[in-house]
Chains A and B, each alone.
Chain A
Amino acid sequence: MSEFDSLLQGMNLILTPGHIGLMVVGVLLGILVGVLPGLGAPNGVALLLPLTFTMSPVSAIILLSCMYWGALFGGSITSILFNIPGEPSSVATTFDGYPMARDGRAAEALTAAFSSALIGALAGVLLLTFLSTRIAEFAMTFSSPEFFAVYLLAFCTFIGMSKNPPLKTVVAMMIGFAMAAVGMDTVSGNLRLTFDQPALMTGISFEVAVIGLFGIGEILCTVEEGLVFRGEHARITPMVILRTWAKLPRYWFTILRSTLVGCWMGITPGGPTAASFMSYSIARKFSKNRDNFGKGELEGVIAPETADHAAGTSALLPMLTLGIPGSATAAVMLGGLMIWGLHPGPTLFAEQHDFVWGLIASMYLGNVVSLLVVLATVPLFASILRIPFSIIAPIIIMVCAIGAYSVHNSMFDVMLMLGFGALGYLFKKLGYPIAPLVLAAVLGDKAEDAFRQSMLFSDGQLGIFWSNPLVGGLTTAALAMLFWPIISAGIKAAFGWRNRHAIKAKTL
């Protein structure tokens, strides 16, 4: 069946009043968590997970994915109006978005941000539509060693490409793996690392870790910085929207480039945050209005927003086809899929045709719905941020506590959330990344299974990871990524040496 037929089928499935209502609710909740400090897309999705257990998987994924889009949009509202990034991925939007708002061009900045975000997102979904089946078919030939090599590649890319110190990334990741190992061993049925504590028998849920690390940790950081929300006002009128849209075609090349950056960073586990920063800095380097960047340049809003959303949507491509999430939020969604009894990976496309295409179809519609909803509700959500911190903070904390509790109906999880909150505060301040921890906590068991099965095939010989060109190539690429900082330093040093040599030769 062609992709187009499948997509139409998916559209058919989701075009019901119930599902569209769910989309609007998801987007509204998403904008809310995107706007509120301390709540973001990853823990918004984690908080909502327990509520989806009674839904059908298609409805549940529509709700969660629309929450993700909404959160991505909501993050730009606070960036532009309040100079506070609601999401880490919208930090780059503050550079030019807030100066524009201070100049009284808030509505223009917001419209440009939302519209370019939609273009980026739709590009990401197009990629997903036409590439996913092919990648899934290709991945059908994978067996355990290949899967482990792909996991290894994802994890090594995180270590090598992260802007955090590599050793700290390793520590964060290994804590995630250790968390995943706690509880019942999926192969032997033995209880591992529980030290005879009944509370640890069910394992440590990644949802609790996400809520604590992102939610409570973020609140503590916010308090320390003593943030005061003093924002600019904005009213988006149809006139402003049309005028801004008329300007957008001028930036077609920036949009195209940012989309490519975003899609690439979304598929490889660079994530939306890295994508938006990279896109911004490239735009600044090549723009004609270079000097105006940082003072309120429209291009400086368009570039990061396009890349942010392109990365956010294309992060679902490796998640659906290979079972490897490209961002922290995608990791939480992947965990959700597993809880609903679905197996992310190539078999998903064969076995859960309706689910996959329902999701892809909902991404087209959901992003358009997001744009409409967000344009209409900017003043509402901006006024939510003006609610004093002493009201909003305890409510956020209560929601986090309830969310942690409802994962297993256990008070121990709430305590655990508190511990993760303290850890999250320290991690943020000392430059330990949180996303690899979440990724490892979600994928730990699957990676371990793949590794153990490979070891069974080969009778404990690591050589199996180089036993055919595909798996060998993947493993080698993974190692190259792992040592990328050293390799790139080596290349630079070599070039530097040659250049210096050349200069010396000239001066002689």
Chain B
Amino acid sequence: MSNSSHSSSLVGTRWVELGLALFTLVIGVVVMFGSVEQGIGWGDSGPEPGYFPFYIGLLLATASLANGVLTLIRWKPLSISFVSRGEFRQVLSVFIPIALFVCAMPFTGIYLASAVFIAWFMWRDKSRAKPYGKWMIGAVSLGAVLASYLIFDLWFRVPLDAGPLGDMAGSFWRSLK
């Protein structure tokens, strides 16, 4: 760990370990709960639907608990930094845009969201001596979207959700034809 404020630790590994163990424990308990709903015993036609998943949930919960206990036992050595502030800011600066991109998709459709996402990602890259020009950004983002349309929709016939705007453009195009 360095002393500068930029790379100061955000959170200790032990907390993340504990958090993830708790998360998997919750999943295990949820799986057990859902299996009990379906019946975990022996029905008329053999094992009931929840028979197998129940033990999966049980194993998951037990292993998670054990992981949590192991974290508590090694509490001191696990105090090392999980991620520094600077690094985490880097990760968030990518993760938040991805989350926004994914959340926008049902409303805007895949094409528009992707084009804006790529364009924004390029536009905000200030680490370069010379930022990308407008034409460059436009060409790359529209080119990528066009390529995915050609490959998925046209050649392999896997229709992608174009969103309300895309559908409007599509019907306009058809009426023009």
Interface residues of A (CB under 8 A from B): 50-51, 54, 165, 167-168, 170-171, 174-175, 177-178, 181, 185, 187-188, 190, 192-193, 195, 216, 219-220, 223-224, 226, 388, 390-391, 393-395, 397-399, 401-402, 405-406, 409, 411, 414-415, 417-418, 421-422, 425-426, 429-430, 432, 448, 451-452, 455-456, 460
Contact = CB atoms under 8 A, between A and B. Distances in A.
Contact of B110 (A195, A405, A417, A452): A405
B11 to A, nearest CB: 11
7 closest cross-chain pairs (CB), A and B: A390-B125, A174-B60, A394-B121, A193-B34, A181-B53, A170-B63, A394-B118
Contacts of B50: 192
Interface of B: 13, 16-17, 20, 24, 27-28, 30-31, 34-35, 38, 42, 45-53, 56-57, 59-60, 63-64, 66-67, 70, 82-83, 87-88, 90-91, 93-95, 98-99, 101-103, 105-106, 110, 114, 117-118, 121-122, 124-125, 127-128, 140, 144-145, 148, 151-152, 156-161
A452 B52 contact: yes
Given A401-B105, A405-B110, A430-B20, A170 B59 contact: yes
B156 A223 contact: no
Majority DSSP secondary structure for residues of B touching A: helix
A221 to B, nearest CB: 9
B46 A456 contact: yes
A451 B12 CA distance: 42
B165 to A, nearest CB: 15
Given A175-B60, A402-B148, A418-B99, A393 B158 contact: no
A171 B56 CA distance: 10
A56 to B, nearest CB: 14
B101 A397 contact: yes
B22 to A, nearest CB: 12
A63 B124 CA distance: 37
B161 A405 contact: yes
B121 A216 contact: no
Contacts of A168: 67
19 contacts: A50-B158, A167-B63, A168-B67, A170-B59, A171-B24, A174-B56, A174-B60, A177-B53, A188-B45, A192-B49, A192-B50, A223-B91, A224-B88, A390-B121, A395-B118, A398-B114, A417-B102, A426-B16, A430-B16
A393 B118 CA distance: 9
A414 B94 contact: no
Contacts of A165: 70
A226 B105 contact: no
Contacts of A190: 38, 49
A452 B34 contact: no
A456 B42 CA distance: 10
A185 B27 contact: no
User: Of residues A394, A418, A432, which shows the largest number of chain B Cβ atoms within 10 Å of its Cβ?
Assistant: A394
Given A401-B110, A426-B20, 15 more contacts: A51-B152, A54-B157, A174-B28, A174-B56, A175-B24, A177-B56, A192-B50, A193-B30, A226-B90, A391-B121, A397-B98, A411-B105, A455-B46, A456-B47, A460-B47
Contact of A220 (B27, B95, B140): B95
B158 A193 contact: no
A414 B128 contact: no
B34 to A, nearest CB: 4
Contacts of B90: 223-224, 226
Contacts of A402: 110, 114, 148, 152, 160
Contacts of A418: 98-99, 102
B71 to A, nearest CB: 10
User: Of residues B35, B67, B70, B127, which shows the largest number of chain A Cβ atoms within 10 Å of its Cβ?
Assistant: B67
Contacts of B42: 460
A192 B53 CA distance: 9
Contact of A193 (B35, B67, B110, B152): B35
A248 B46 CA distance: 60
Contacts of B17: 430
A394 B117 contact: yes
A391 B156 CA distance: 25
A175 B127 CA distance: 39
Nearest to A389: B125
A398 B116 CA distance: 11
Given A192-B34, A430-B17, A452-B46, A401 B94 contact: no
